[in-house]
Structures are given as structure tokens and as C-alpha cells.
Amino acid sequence: MEGATKDSQIFWRLVVTRFGDTVSGRHSAPYTIFSGVVSVAAIILAVSLERVPLIWRIVLIALPFVMFLIAGFIYSVYRVWKDEHKKVLSLEASNLELTDRLSPKIRLSIDGDGISEEMDANGLFTKRAQFVVRGIDKAPLINCEALLEQVNRLGDFPETMMEEPLRCEWSNATGQEQFKRTIPDGVSQRANLFAITRSERKILALVEFRKEQLVLGINMPGKYKIAVAITANNSPTTKESFLFEWSDFNNIRLTPWPNADHVPRIG
């Protein structure tokens, strides 16, 4: 109620200022000319009407000036309303633009159990824990990076293994695009988190730099909460968490974190 009262006071203060400009400022010329012409006509008419009482002659002479004030006031109210309405529309447009700019334009998901398996040139089978990145706007994701932000072991021996984010490698990418690439509109791109081979049976973090705490910590079979972030030049950062669980080469999976409490232990 207090805010509405203050807004009303501001509005009428603007009307008074506009009214002053209208009747005496740069907008006053049309009204002054009109009022002057009508006043002269009214004076001539009042003088010529000898039988009309004096009070009505005065009213007739004053009427153009009163009309001038009323017209100026109505115009002032309209102009203030129009200007303020334009400001509101401009502010709403700016808010919509800001909301659109800050809205995530990236969707993260997991296909199946989040694990892909393939055989390399040496005949060794490798499984990779991956999540899928896809733009939801009709534009490419420019200079997109996948960051492994945190790895937390769950259960009886909890441990936090990350001090700073590390860039994950993009699937089927080499050279400069291994850790930063532009994802075309409508294309899904996988990001690698971890890998395990049938022969070594150890978890390898597929990140840009080797961190001993992560290398040693992730190789204890169990459940892990994985926090990732995706950045791109033309999109706000999108963050997501996953549940990573493994016991051996045959028992490994990556699932969305909200389903973590409903995932039975494997192995």
C-alpha cells in the first residue's frame, strides 16, 4: 500500500512538471495560439451581447482560458502515462532479454547405463563412463568445455578428491578439440569421465591433468557422486551431478544423481 502511494505521488509530481512545460514551456505554443484566438472571439462576442448579464460575459471571456488549462492538464496526464508506459515496456523487454541470456542452453543426459564399450586396435576392450551434452537452442555451443568439478566417495569411507575443476576429454576428439570444441546445433556430443580396460581393471580418470588423489581414490570400488559443469561462450554454465558406481570391469555404470537412492548396489 505504501509503495502504491509513493508511485501515485511520483506520477502526479511528473504530471505537474509536464503541465508547467505544457502551459508555459516549449509545448505551450499551440495551446496559447488557440486560447488567444478563442479569447479574442469571446471578448468580441461578450461586448456585442449587451443584453447578457455581466457575470455571463465574464464567464464567456474566462471560458477559453479554463479550456486551455483543462486541455493542458489532460495532455500532461496522457504524456506522463505514455512515457512511463514506454519505460515499463522497455524494462520488460530488457528483463526478457536478460532472462533469455541467463537461461541454460545446454542439456546434460545419460544414455542407458552411461557406459560405452569398444575394442581398440590391440584387441583390448575398454569401457568408458560418459554423459551426453546437447544444445537446446538453435545455435551451436561455441568453445564448449566439460569440467569434472568434484568427486565424492560415498559410504563407509567418504572422501572428497578434487581441489579444483579438471577438463574432461570429448569422445572421439583429438588435438585442440580434445578438451574444447564447438558442438553444432542439434548434435549430441559425449564427454568422457572414466575408463576401465578388461586387462588392467583399474579406473582411469579421462581428464586433462593427472591428480594422484583422484587416481588413487577412484580406484576403490564403490559409489561416487560426480559433479560436472559445461561451459560455452554463448551459454550460462550448466551443472549436473551423477552417481558413478563400479566393482569390476563387468559391473560399472553412471546414472543421474536424483535416482541414486533407488539404485541397488551392483557386484
The sign of the CA dihedral 207, 210, 213, 216 is positive
Which pLDDT belongs to residue 82? 79
Q: Residue ranges per domain, the chain?
A: 2-102, 106-262
Residues in contact with 111: Cβ distance below 8 Å, sequence separation at least 6, in sequence order: 130, 132
**What pTM was estimated for this model as a whole?**
0.61
CB–CB of 185/140 below 8 Å? yes
Which pLDDT belongs to residue 22? 62
Query: What are the start-end ranges of the E strands in the chain?
Result: 106-109, 115-119, 125-135, 141-153, 159-160, 166-167, 181-183, 188-197, 204-205, 222-232, 235-248, 251-256
Superfamily of domain 106-262: Immunoglobulins (2.60.40.10)
Which pLDDT belongs to residue 264? 42
Residues in contact with 82: Cβ distance below 8 Å, sequence separation at least 6, in sequence order: none
Which pLDDT belongs to residue 247? 93
Which pLDDT belongs to residue 68? 65
Which pLDDT belongs to residue 111? 92
Q: Which residues of 219-254 are buried (b: 16+ CB within 10 A; e: fewer)?
A: eeebbbbbbbbbbbeebeebebbbbbbbeebeebbb
**Average pLDDT per consecutive 10 residues, the chain (267 residues; last block may be shorter):** 64 68 57 55 56 61 67 73 78 66 75 90 86 88 94 92 93 93 92 91 92 92 95 90 94 83 43
